[in-house]
Structures are given as structure tokens and as C-alpha cells.
């Protein structure tokens, strides 16, 4: 039976922005609201990602094989990476410490060296992208360590951010050293999030985190709650 997961990389990034939003992502995702502008941004991101994936014509898309059966991704990924031949995987799944990540592009050489690519439709490397890479690196590196105990010579050799050069091309920069240096911090953060998700809903007032680094999909819900709470306060005559 495939092992269940508690967190994903998107939930991890959500938690870094706001722990209440993470709590809602896990327990009340139906409260999320995405406007048309957000959907348009998502689509542009997918289009850019697919353009980069097209540079690997032999890539195997696990999302086409497994669909929404998310907990099957790590097992299928391990099976494909354990073969001796060179392989390129799209949406390769890795599970460690209750966190499931799906990597945009993973290229494994015949020698067992993995190059991972995170694709972002952006003109620059943003701080939040590095957090995205760090959680993936943490999960992937530890997953490979487990596979190595079974005799598979797999090593993470690079972890690159791919972003838009503004002219229809790609900028590719390796952030593996930065991500490796952040792994102990990621492990502590994952532990904090795990404890939070087994506790009552956190109390967080609305603030700058509602719009940075991304517009929060639970903003309208929180606004309605704060409006209700303020209108429920007793009124006193001066």
C-alpha cells in the first residue's frame, strides 16, 4: 500500500506565508477562492513549463500515467529511476518525512546522477522560488539516501531553477549548494508544520502576509470572519 502524505511542496510554501492558510489548505480547501487573474497566471506558468519540457522529447510524464493518484507517484518514480538506462521524468514523485514533492523535470544519467529542474515563468529568481527548491531538495536527497540502502547508485548532482529570459528562451541556474545548506532549516520547519496540523486552528490576524509573496486564496474567508467578529463585539455608550 502506498504511504500517505501530510504535506506537499505547495502546502509547505503556503505555510511559510501563513500558518492559518496551511491549516485551511489541509482541512478546509473548499474555502479557497481563486480569481480569474490567478487562473490566468497559473495557465501561463503551465504553458512555459510545457515549453521547457518539450526540450526533453523522451520524457515520461507520470501525471499522464497516474493522474490524481498522488500517493502512487513515489513508488513509480523509484521503479523508473532504479533502472540502469538514462531516463527523463516529468512530475517525478518523492516522499520523505510526510512530505510529497513532484519535481517538474528529473534527468537521470546512465551513471545514476540526477539533475532536477524547477520551472518558473518569471524574469528573475525570487526568494520564494529558493524555498520551493529547498523543500524539494530536502525530500529528494533523503529519498535517494533510502534508495541507496537498497543498492541503487543514485545521486543528486544539480538542482536548477529555470526561468524566462524574456525572449522565448530559458535561463538555467543551479541552486543545489544553497538548497543543501538550507536542509536542516527545512527539517525543523517541516516538524513545526506537522505539530501545527495536529493542533487546533492557529489564530492569525490578517496582514501583509495575505498578499505576499502570493495573493492568499483564503483572504475572502478571513475577511468575512474578521468582519463577523468585529460586528459581534458588545457596544458601549460613551
The domain locations on the chain are 7-231
Nearest Cα to Cα of residue 158 among 172, 145, 148, 170: 172
C-alpha cell at 195: 505539530
> What sign does the CA torsion over 62, 65, 71, 72 have?
negative
Residue 2 pLDDT: 64
Model's pTM, two decimal places? 0.91
Q: What angle do CA 36, 39, 45 make, to 5 degrees?
A: 145
Residue 87 Cα distances to 79, 110, 112, angstroms: 11, 8, 10
For every one of its 238 residues, what pLDDT tens digit does the chain have, with 9 covering 90 and above? 566 789 999 999 999 999 999 999 999 999 999 999 999 999 999 999 999 999 999 999 999 999 999 999 999 999 999 988 999 999 999 999 999 999 999 999 999 999 999 999 999 999 999 999 999 999 999 999 999 887 888 999 999 999 999 998 999 999 999 999 999 999 999 999 999 999 999 999 999 999 999 999 999 999 988 765 544 444 433 2
- What is the C-alpha separation between 222 and 229, in angstroms, rounded? 10
Pairing of strands 155-164, 113-120: parallel
Q: What CATH number labels 7-231?
A: 3.90.320
Amino acid at each position: 500500500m502506498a504511504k500517505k502524505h501530510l504535506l506537499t511542496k505547495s502546502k509547505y510554501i503556503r505555510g511559510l506565508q501563513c500558518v492559518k492558510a496551511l491549516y485551511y489548505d489541509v482541512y478546509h480547501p473548499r474555502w479557497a477562492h481563486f480569481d480569474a487573474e490567478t487562473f490566468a497566471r497559473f495557465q501561463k506558468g503551465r504553458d512555459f513549463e510545457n515549453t521547457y519540457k518539450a526540450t526533453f522529447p523522451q520524457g515520461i510524464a507520470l501525471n499522464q500515467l497516474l493522474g490524481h493518484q498522488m500517493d502512487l507517484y513515489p513508488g513509480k518514480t523509484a521503479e523508473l529511476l532504479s533502472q540502469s538506462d538514462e531516463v527523463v521524468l516529468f512530475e517525478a514523485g518523492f516522499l520523505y518525512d510526510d512530505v510529497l514533492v513532484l519535481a517538474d523535470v528529473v534527468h537521470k544519467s546512465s551513471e545514476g546522477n540526477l539533475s532536477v529542474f524547477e520551472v518558473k515563468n518569471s524574469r528573475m529568481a525570487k526568494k520564494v522560488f529558493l524555498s520551493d527548491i529547498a523543500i524539494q531538495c530536502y525530500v529528494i536527497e533523503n529519498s535517494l539516501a533510502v534508495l541507496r540502502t537498497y543498492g541503487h547508485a543514485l545521486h543528486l548532482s544539480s538542482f536548477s531553477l529555470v526561468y524566462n529570459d524574456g525572449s522565448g528562451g530559458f535561463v538555467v541556474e543551479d541552486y543545489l549548494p544553497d538548497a543543501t545548506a538550507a536542509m536542516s532549516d527545512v527539517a525543523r520547519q517541516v516538524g513545526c508544520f506537522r505539530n501545527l496540523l495536529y493542533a487546533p486552528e492557529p489564530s492569525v490576524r490578517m496582514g501583509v502576509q495575505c498578499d505576499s509573496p502570493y495573493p492568499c486564496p483564503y483572504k475572502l474567508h478571513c475577511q468575512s470572519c474578521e468582519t463577523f467578529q468585529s460586528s459581534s463585539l458588545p457596544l458601549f455608550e460613551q
